[in-house]
Structure formats: C-alpha cells, structure tokens
Structure 1
Amino acid sequence: MSRVVVVGAGLGGLAAAARLAAAGHDVTVVEQSDAIGGKLGTFRRDGFTFDTGPSLLTMPYVLEDLFAATGDPLASVLPLQPLETACRYRFPDGTVLDMPGDAGAIGPALDTALGPGRGAQWSTFLDRAERIWDATHEPFLESPITLRDMARLSRRLTDVRDVAPWQTLRGLGASYLHDPRLRQLLDRYATYTGSDPRRAPAALATVPYVEQAHGSWHVPGGLHRIAETVRDRAVERGATVRLSTEVVEVVTAAGRACGVRLADGELLAADVVVAGVDAAQLYGRLVPPDPRAWRTAARLDRSRSLSGFVLLLATDALLYEHRHHQVLFTDDYDAEFDGVLGPRGRRRPVEAPTVYVSSPGDPAMAPDGAEGLFVLVNAAPHDPRGGVDWDEPGLADEYAEHVLDTMARRGFDVRPHLRWREVRTPADLGRATLTGGGAIYGSSSNGPRSAFLRPANRSPVPGLFLVGGSAHPGGGLPLVMLSAEIVSGLVGPS
C-alpha cells in the first residue's frame, strides 16, 4: 500500500483521492482552508445559498465514470437535473435567444430567434466541431499530453485538416457563421477556458459541441454538492481529509518527492504527492528551488487566464421570466477581451462588459418568494504591479454599481428588489484559492501550442503529480475530473 498525500481539496484533488483510495492506496488530503471545493465554492447567508464558482455541469458522463470506478453509481448518491433551456442570450440589437438544452431543438430555436438559415449555419459548424472532438479528445483530453501526441496527429492528414491548428476559434467560426450574433455566441465559448477567441485555437470549437451534445445540468441544492459527494466517496474508500492544514513545502529526497511539510512544521511522509494547487504556486513556492520550476512558474504568470468580478445578489422577489442562465452581451466584445487579456499595461475594468447571470430557481437555494443571483463579468487578473489593482480603495464598490447599472440598461434591473449584495473581486478569489491573480483557469488557451504549454500531470520531480484546472487538460469541472483520472492511471494500483 503506497502512501499518497493530496495537496488541495478542490474537485481535482478530491477526485484523485477517491480514485487512488479505491485503488488501495493510503490517501491523506490536506487543504489550507476550512472548507472543501476550492473554486467549486459556496456561500450561505440568510437562507440563500450561492454557487460561487461553476454554476453549470456539462459532460456529466465524466462524473458518472468517476463514481462507477470507485463504487456505487452516481445516481445512487447525487441526482442531476437537465435544463430545458441551457441559457437565455440577449444580443446588443435586442434579440433574445433561448438556447434549448435538447440538441435536437437547437436548430429550430436559432431559426425562430435569429432568422431562417441560422440553425443550418450552427449545425454545419458543429459538424466540424464534432470531427475535431473525434480527433482530439482521446490524445489531448483523456491521456497525458506529450509531443508524441502531436506527432501521431500530424501523421493523420485528415485529422490535421479538421483540427486546423493554424486557425483561431474566431477564424474558424467566420468560415461557417455569417450572422454576427452566431459569431458572438461562439466567441463566448473561448471564455470557458479563460481565453481570447482571436488567439485561442480552433480546437476550442469542441466546447460548444460537447455542451450541446451532452446537455446542460444542474445539481439540486447547488453544484457544490458535487465536491461534497466526491469527498464522501473518497472517505468511504479510506481517505482522510484534513482541513485548515497549510502545506509550505513539497519535500524531496534523492531527487524524488517523499512528502510535504506543513506550516506547523509537521512532516507528512509519502511515496506519492498529488498537487491539486495552482501550478504557478506549486512551481514558484512549494517545490525545491530548480531552474525548470522557476521557468515554468514565470511562464504561467505571463499567460494567466482571465478572472471574474462577482456579485452575489439576494432579492426579495422572483424576477422576470425565469431562466437558469442568462447572458447579456456587450456591443463591443473586442474591447472586453482587450481589457481583460490585452497587454499588461492596458488591462482595465471593462466599461461595457458582457454580464452572466445565474438564477437556479432551486427552492433549496433561496427562501420562499426570493431569489439569489450569481452575477459574473470577465475581469483582468489582480495585478498591482502593472495591471489592475482590485484592492484599490473604492474600486470594488464603484465597479459593482457600474455592473448593476449595465444590467439595468440591458433590461435586467434588480436594484428595486435588492436585499443585500456580496462583492468578490479577482483579488478575493486569488486569496481564497491561492491562485495567482485570481486567474480562474490558471493559464489561458491562447495560441496553437497552448495544449502543450499547460503543465503536465507528471511533474519533472519523480513522485510528484498535478491535478486541477491549472494542469493538463485544463479548467472546468469535466476536465478537472479527467486530470484526476489521468493521474490515477499514472500512479497505478497499490
């Protein structure tokens, strides 16, 4: 039986702990905060419950695979609820599109909302996205990424032509989508990886494909229940979870990871260390000094993904016609991407941001007759040295008012019904999750080589492995769980 220490009780760390414990390893999870979940967080006040991170589950089969591999099936412990309407989109020209959760209904909905032929445009684009998915998901998402994968793909001419590594997501979309509203819809999917569609690879076309092919899902009671249920599965399989336990060093002996040192000086010996922390923090602060680690940390710092500015709004009414998710688009998406991902010295709070609103309509998440709204706008990472200093006095409250004003101008005025609000800036997210600048996805997916620049699951230090959104294959609930599956396979059975 191998001793495994998992650093971080985010979903990646918990999923790795469940898989490794089920495989017979002696697993201890250590988490610096007093709560599990990491970015899959929750906030409760006055009977309101908010998911403070992801508010939508896609690719549910990945979660189902995790539970099938570790014991009883998912359905026995956690219900999933499909969404009839995946999202309501409000475009700058006033058009409203209710995107169905049922893939078969999407084409007719697009034709009705945007005009005849729009469904065919989107369908043709998704056919291309499906071919990209078929060519890439096994070597690029479900396996440890290596240069051999690129070589293997390059030998299959058809796959290379489909994947189009020389094209950006926006460039690929322009080839199929002639309605500017469809192109704006596609641009939004780049933000799922914290990226700019003008620089993100065409392979990100798979993001809308998998969302629509496998549906959009809610967890009654909030998505944080996923973290709780995975934690419970890990504990059932023998893992130990220690909260309020900060790791200050990954200890090595003879060049191999042999445990971790805690803030109080305790040494936890291990045969394997699995790091579910931000990769830039791992390589910049926790591993022994090494030029390779420093270079990796510096590169990750330069390529941070976008962050988010969040409002948690408690209202005293059920507002408007209910839709679980709504997106209020800006009329200048390029200005938004320039503001959050442009050159460091030019980043700024976005003047006219796209606004994302989640209002689950879940009776377990708000008092009767009331509603809790999670509001998110894309934001530059916290960077006092040369970007946006989100701790600047007064900035958070001033920008919160600006976001509420923006919502009102776009037909979604919540202020007359507002009981209270909580504001979360990128600086707050960075402190809560020990993530550089509060970058939600670690590094962005900008550039054709981005998949190969994301930190690998097997680190240069023998015995040290990486899971979570800042490591391969990337951020978002499904990919984080896939990283745990990859690491479990690399570690092997006890």
Structure 2
Amino acid sequence: MARIVVVGAGVGGLATAARLAATGHQVTVFERADTVGGKLGRYTHDTPAGSFHFDTGPSLLTLPEVFHDLFEATGAKLDEYLDLVPLDPIVRHVFPGGGPTLDSCADPVEFTARIGAALGDRAAADWQRLWRRAARVWQASSRDILRRTVDSPRDLAALAWRVGDLAAIAPGRSLRGLGRRHLSDPRLRMLLDRYATYTGADPRRAPAALVAVPYAELAFGGWYLRGGLGTLADALLTRCLDLGVVVQTDATVTRIDATGGRVHGVRLAGVTAPVPADVVVANVDALTVYRDLLPHPRRLAGLTDRSLAGFVLLLGVAGNTGLAHHNVFFPDDYDAEFDAVFGDPGRGVRARPAADPAVFVTVADDPMVRPAGHEAWFVLVNAPRHGTAAGAVDWRRPGLADAYADRILDVLARRGVDVRDRLLFHEIRTPADLGVATGAPGGSIYGTAGGLLRPANRGPANGLWLVGGSTHPGGGLPMVTLSAQIVADEIGPAW
C-alpha cells in the first residue's frame, strides 16, 4: 500500500483518488479552495422570485461510458449517484444572415437528414464523407492514444498506425483545412471550426485530428445531469469518502519534495512539517507544477502556447425564451474572432476581446436550477487569457468587464435574442476570475492549446504523475476522467 497525495480536487484528482483507494492505496487529497470540483464550478443567486443555480464550467457531458467505467471501477453504479438526461438537440446552431437553424443530435442518419433539410443535399453528402473520415480518426485515437501514456513525440511515432489511419488523421493538416477540403457550405465549416475551441485552439492551426471531437459528441450523445453538472463533483466526493480517501479543503500545496530523482511528499502553506508521500498526483495546471511546485525549466519551456479562455455572463431571465439547452449564435466573420482572441505576437498584434464573437448560451430546462417562470442562462464567449503579454488581456482594467458584458447582450439582441429588459440580474466571470478561482494560469481553460501531444502524465521525478485538462489526453470531462484512469493504471493496485 502506497501513501499517495493528490494535489487538487478537480474531476481528475477526485477520479484518480477514488480509483487508487479502490485498489487499496492510502490516499489524501489537498484542495486549495473551500470546495471540490475545480473548473466544475457552481454559483447560486437568490432573488425574491427564488434561487438561480448555475454551472460555471462545463455544461455538457459526453462519452458517458467513461463515467460508467469510473464508477464501476470503484465498486458503484453511475445511475445510483447521477441522473443523466440525453439532449436532443445537443446544440442548436444559429448561423449569420438568418435562415434555418441546425439542431445536432446523436443519430448520424437523423443529423444528416437535418443538414439536408436546413442546408441542402450537397451539404448533407459532404457531411457524410467527413463523418466517415471522423469515424476512422476516432477509432485510431480511442485505440492508440486516449487510454495510454504518451510521453513524447517518439511515443506517437512508435504507435502502430495503420496506413488508412494516417491518411484520415492527416498529419500536418489543420482542422480548418480539413473543413475546406470536405465541406462546401460555409455554415458547416463554421460548425466544424467551433470544435477546435473545445480544446482551446484556433481551427486555422489546430490539427485535423480534432475532427474526432465532434465525432465523439455526435456519435455517443450529449447529456445533462439533472441538478447541474456540478453534481458530478458531489458524486465523486462521496465515492472518495466512502472508499476512505481523506479530502482536505482550504489546504494549499506550495511545493512537491523530490530530491534524488523521486518524490518524498509535499509542503502545505502554513504547515511546518512536510506531508510524506510515496506517490504524488498533481491535478493542477502543468504550468503551475513546473513553474511553482517542482520547478523544471525544460518542461516549463514547452508550455508557452496557452489555450483560449472564456468570458462568462450568468443571467437571471424572466419568462421563457424557447431556446434549446445549448445554443450557439455564430458571427458574420468567425476569423475576426480568432484574430482577436489569439492575436499575433509575432507581428505585434495584441489579443483583444472580439467585437462580434460567437455566443454560446446554455439554458437548462430543469426546475432544480431556476424558479418557475424563469430561466438561468450561462453565456460564454471565447476570450483571450488574462495577463499583460501580447497574447493576453488585462481583464482587471477598470470598466472593461462591464462594457464587454453590455456588448455581448447587444450582440445577442442583434441576433434575435434580446433579454435586456427581462434581466433580474447578471453576474460576470472573466478569465481573471477563473484564474483566481481554480488556479488556472491566466484563466486558460485547457492549459496549452489543443493538439495531439499534451504535457505527459508521467512527471520528471519517480512517483510524480499529472492528471487533468492540461495534460494528456486533453481537456473536457471525459478526457480528464481518462487521464485519471491512465495514471491509476500506471500506478497499479496496492496488492
């Protein structure tokens, strides 16, 4: 039995802790915040009409089998803890210029028919060809990448790629390039581009292999958890406690001790004595690990390409607007948004808030999260991370957040959804706020920008492991949960 310390009680940390405790290890989790969940945050706003409850992080659960596997591996059933609600549509796409909307769903035949009805037969045929390619990429990724450690480019090169898999993955081609090759309708290209932002990346530079992301969502479905996605954190905490894991909140790890090439424990703020450990699992951003907790200049050097962040509005809306659970309102010029959010430091072009961004609106039809006759809106737009570098924005600048919030509401009004005279309240969450709340440097949602090669799960010292969205296999709830499985499998059982 190993003494294992997990740094951070996000989904990755809790999932790893539960798996390790279920195999006989002695596990302690230290969390800097006063609650668990990490980026799976929650917020409650009380009004005379009643209470509004918001998820302030992920709003969609995909690949449900990953979570079924997690709970079964710890001796439980997912359905005993969580109420999964399938979504149809998964996302309602509202394109610029008016015209028909497009509702995605988990039935490939039905979704193709919806594309044909909304965008025409040629668009439907284009999508079918792309879908076949996406399936091939997903199968190769799922088989060879998502459930094993990938520590270096050599590991990727050593995989037994089949010729057909390599042709589908198209090394060197961007997701944007793949869309232009396969999709003639600019609206379908917009739909595909958006999935690059799921990994924090610019579709013009993100690898074509990210076509596996929409495949995973549309092939296996999108799900909501009744009561909000934050209930996943509650369920994982309960599993951990039932398995004997010690979870300490308000406990900040300031350093990982690793002399002689292996870990010996961690240091806590305000505590003189070190906490001994045979294994340390870090569920914090890889940049924080290699900059602050265990300084490592070589690994730190590879973490400069940060992912995008998000600007969020939490709205209490009177009445019913008739929106779907998830809605995306596309801009006239998607490239202008990416130019703004990512900037171009090489040409001296600074990042800035996008003037006319895509707006993502989540409205859960769930009486557990809003008073009767009202809606709780989570509004998200892509945004530069917080900071003073050319690729960032100082979101603490006086007046900036309030002015940008007003602009987003104006953008929604121009796109046919005007709720400015129906707001009971609005709350703002900037990338700076996310950075403070979760320890994500600059509020970057996914650590480094998306790609096939993320920071490795295996740390530079024996006994050090990394999990979470900033590490392999990437961001998003299922990938974070798979990172926990990879690390727990590598550590192995206590017996």
TM-score per shorter chain, which class? Answer: over 0.9
| Alignment-derived partner of residue 37 in structure 2 | 37
Equivalent-residue separation in structure 1 for 2:227 and 2:315 (angstroms):
17
SS in 1 for 2:4: strand
Q: Deviations over 1:89-132 (max 9, x none)?
A: 11012131122343331011111111223222112101101111
Query: Residue 203 of structure 1: which of 197, 205, 209 is its match?
Result: 209
| Alignment-derived partner of residue 186 in structure 2 | 180
Equivalent-residue separation in structure 2 for 1:79 and 1:174 (angstroms):
39
Query: Residue 87 of structure 1: which of 80, 88, 91 is its match?
Result: 91
Change (3 A) 1:25 1:326: same
Report the residue type matching 1:175 in the other structure.
Answer: R
Confirm or deny: 8 A CA contact 1:154 1:160 kept in the other structure.
Answer: no
| Alignment-derived partner of residue 294 in structure 1 | 297
| Alignment-derived partner of residue 479 in structure 2 | 479
1:297 to partner: Cα distance: 2.2
1:424 to partner: Cα distance: 0.5
| Alignment-derived partner of residue 399 in structure 1 | 404
SS in 2 for 1:75: helix
Equivalent-residue separation in structure 1 for 2:267 and 2:190 (angstroms):
48
Gaps of 5+ in 1: none
**How many residue pairs were aligned?**
483
Confirm or deny: 8 A CA contact 1:258 1:269 kept in the other structure.
Answer: yes
| Alignment-derived partner of residue 285 in structure 2 | 278
Q: Once superposed, what is the RMSD of the aligned Cα atoms? A: 1.3
1:155 to partner: Cα distance: 5.5
Confirm or deny: 8 A CA contact 1:153 1:160 kept in the other structure.
Answer: no
Alignment map for 1:379-418 (pairs within 5 Å): 379-386=383-390, 387-418=392-423
Equivalent-residue separation in structure 2 for 1:259 and 1:120 (angstroms):
57
| Alignment-derived partner of residue 17 in structure 2 | 17
Confirm or deny: 8 A CA contact 2:68 2:78 kept in the other structure.
Answer: yes
Matched, 1:314 2:307: no
| Alignment-derived partner of residue 325 in structure 1 | 326
Confirm or deny: 8 A CA contact 2:467 2:480 kept in the other structure.
Answer: yes
Matched, 1:152 2:153: no
SS in 2 for 1:217: strand
| Alignment-derived partner of residue 27 in structure 2 | 27
| Alignment-derived partner of residue 200 in structure 2 | 194
Gaps of 5+ in 2: none
Query: Residue 171 of structure 2: which of 160, 165, 170 is its match?
Result: 165
Confirm or deny: 8 A CA contact 1:468 1:483 kept in the other structure.
Answer: yes
Alignment map for 1:44-443 (pairs within 5 Å): 44-46=44-46, 47-95=51-99, 96-146=101-151, 147-153=153-159, 156-265=162-271, 266-287=273-294, 289=295, 293-300=296-303, 302-319=304-321, 321-344=322-345, 345-386=349-390, 387-443=392-448
1:410 to partner: Cα distance: 0.4
SS in 2 for 1:349: coil
Instruction: Report the more deviating stretch, 250-259 or 347-356.
Output: 250-259
Q: Deviations over 1:282-311 (max 9, x none)?
A: 100011x4xxx12322431x2000000000
Q: Deviations over 1:214-258 (max 9, x none)?
A: 001000000011111011111111101100101101012422111
Report the residue type matching 2:475 in the other structure.
Answer: G
Confirm or deny: 8 A CA contact 1:82 1:101 kept in the other structure.
Answer: no
Confirm or deny: 8 A CA contact 2:310 2:380 kept in the other structure.
Answer: yes
Confirm or deny: 8 A CA contact 2:106 2:219 kept in the other structure.
Answer: no
SS in 2 for 1:297: helix
Change (3 A) 1:385 1:209: closer
Equivalent-residue separation in structure 1 for 2:363 and 2:270 (angstroms):
42
Equivalent-residue separation in structure 1 for 2:237 and 2:177 (angstroms):
42
Report the residue type matching 2:298 in the other structure.
Answer: R
SS in 2 for 1:86: coil
Instruction: Report the more deviating stretch, 147-156 or 328-337.
Output: 147-156
1:451 to partner: Cα distance: 2.4
Equivalent-residue separation in structure 1 for 2:4 and 2:277 (angstroms):
5
Q: Deviations over 1:129-164 (max 9, x none)?
A: 111111222222111014454233466322211211
Change (3 A) 1:451 1:312: same
Equivalent-residue separation in structure 2 for 1:411 and 1:354 (angstroms):
14
Q: Deviations over 1:159-207 (max 9, x none)?
A: 2112111211111121211111001100000000010111100100001
Q: Deviations over 1:295-345 (max 9, x none)?
A: 322431x200000000000112122x2310100001111111111123244
Q: Indicate the percent of aligned positions where both proteins have the same amino acid.
A: 52
Equivalent-residue separation in structure 2 for 1:63 and 1:220 (angstroms):
15
TM-score of the aligned structures, taking structure 2 as reference length: 0.95
Equivalent-residue separation in structure 2 for 1:54 and 1:13 (angstroms):
16
SS in 1 for 2:315: strand
Q: Deviations over 1:431-482 (max 9, x none)?
A: 111111100000002xxxx423x21001011111000000111100000000
TM-score of the aligned structures, taking structure 1 as reference length: 0.96
Equivalent-residue separation in structure 2 for 1:156 and 1:78 (angstroms):
39
Confirm or deny: 8 A CA contact 2:207 2:452 kept in the other structure.
Answer: no
Query: Residue 449 of structure 2: which of 440, 444, 447 is its match?
Result: 444
Equivalent-residue separation in structure 2 for 1:384 and 1:361 (angstroms):
39
Aligned structure 1 segments of 4 or more residues deviating by more than 4 angstroms:
none
